[in-house]
């Protein structure tokens, strides 16, 4: 929940759902998909209200932290769309409100469906398309922890997975073993994994050493590359094919299976 919701008054019907959403990260992965889906259905039963939109948006934000099933994501997206249909939101500083962007991201990057037809949602879709066109043109040159320089555009002929992460980010830590396993499995087939962080070398070195990560860790000091790719949350991954085209990206943490699917789209295998 954002600072804007601190003064919100939650009803007796909404409170239990709010508390379950707050505790969703503590639910075991093998149960989280079921719990997420049940929460989506519970939110859908609430009467139309701004709080319903808030709950649906918060659930959507958490539903992409791993692989909890396409049907679960579809139910989450449908609940968010229904809440926005019932309670349309005004633009914020000339741009669509965040819940519309959240829904547009689910549709664009998680391949769910929506029947929501509103100017705000259409604007959110157009905004994502514009951002992705800018990401297509992005390039960078950064040094890794050993001082070696890497330039994205110089890696044509390779499949490149660019992963943004931080030492303080639990979902980032959770996907590291899968990234390491993929790197070892496919590096001889042309996979390059570049993990970017804006933290200092002195903090990153011991963290990486303790986890025995062998793929390159690049220092994006000041976060300039993250800004150029408009990364607004961690972790975030982009996959480029051998021609250097951006072919897919994640909204959030990915599992090994989900990373494999992303690499398939880049023609690695």
pLDDT of residue 7: 86
Backbone angles phi, psi at 246, to 5 degrees: -75, 115
* Nearest alpha carbon to residue 114 among 132, 102, 97, 131: 102
Q: Sign (positive/negative) of CA torsion 12, 106, 38, 116?
A: positive
Give the integer Cα–Cα distance in Å for 220 and 194: 11
pLDDT of residue 269: 74
pLDDT of residue 5: 46
pLDDT digits (tens, 9 = 90+) for 76-95: 999 999 999 999 999 999 99
Within the chain, how many helices (H) and strands (E) appear? 10, 7
Give the integer Cα–Cα distance in Å for 182 and 251: 19
Lookup result for tokens 């090994």: 256
* Nearest alpha carbon to residue 83 among 69, 93, 95, 98: 98
pLDDT of residue 2: 44
Cα-Cα end-to-end distance for the chain: 41
Give the integer Cα–Cα distance in Å for 191 and 182: 9
Which phi-psi region, left, alpha or beta, contains residue 138 (left: φ > 0; alpha: ψ -120 to 50)? beta
pLDDT digits (tens, 9 = 90+) for 179-234: 999 999 999 999 999 999 999 999 999 999 999 999 999 999 999 999 999 998 99
Q: Sign (positive/negative) of CA torsion 232, 34, 255, 124?
A: negative
pLDDT of residue 231: 96
Which tokens belong to 219? 């220092």
pLDDT of residue 6: 60
Burial class (CB in 10 A: 0-12, 13-18, 19+), 26: exposed
Note if the bond before 235 is cis, omega within 30 degrees.
yes
> What would you report as the CA-atom Rg of the chain, rounded to the nearest whole angstrom?
19
Give the integer Cα–Cα distance in Å for 213 and 207: 9
- The list of the chain residues with pLDDT below 50 reads 1-5
Give the integer Cα–Cα distance in Å for 229 and 168: 21
Give the integer Cα–Cα distance in Å for 196 and 131: 20
* Nearest alpha carbon to residue 218 among 164, 173, 174: 164
> Residues 151, 152, 153, CA angle at the centre, nearest 5°?
95
**H or E segment and range at residue 163:** strand 159-164
């Amino acid at each position: 929940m954002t600072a804007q919701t601190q003064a919100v008054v939650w009803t007796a019907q909404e409170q239990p759902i709010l508390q379950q959403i707050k505790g969703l990260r503590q639910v075991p992965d093998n149960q989280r998909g079921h719990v997420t889906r049940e929460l989506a259905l519970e939110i859908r039963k609430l009467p139309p209200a701004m709080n319903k939109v808030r709950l649906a948006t918060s659930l959507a934000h958490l539903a992409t932290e791993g692989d909890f099933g396409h049907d679960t994501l579809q139910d989450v997206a449908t609940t968010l769309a229904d809440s926005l249909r019932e309670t349309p939101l005004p633009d914020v500083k000339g741009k669509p409100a965040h819940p519309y962007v959240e829904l547009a991201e689910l549709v664009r990057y998680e391949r769910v469906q929506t029947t929501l037809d509103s100017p705000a949602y259409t604007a959110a879709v157009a905004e994502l398309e514009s951002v992705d066109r800018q990401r297509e043109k992005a390039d960078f040159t950064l040094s890794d922890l050993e001082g070696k320089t890497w330039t994205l555009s110089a890696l044509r002929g390779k499949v490149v997975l660019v992963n943004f992460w931080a030492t303080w980010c639990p979902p980032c830590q959770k996907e590291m073993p899968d990234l390491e396993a993929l790197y070892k499995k496919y590096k001889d087939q042309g996979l390059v994994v570049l993990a970017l962080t804006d933290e200092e070398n002195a903090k990153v070195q011991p963290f990486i050493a303790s986890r025995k990560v062998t793929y390159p860790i690049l220092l994006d000091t000041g976060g300039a590359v993250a800004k150029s790719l408009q990364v607004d949350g961690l972790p975030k991954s982009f996959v480029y094919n051998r021609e250097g085209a951006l072919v897919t990206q994640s909204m959030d943490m990915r599992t090994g299976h989900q990373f494999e699917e992303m690499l398939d789209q880049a023609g690695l295998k």
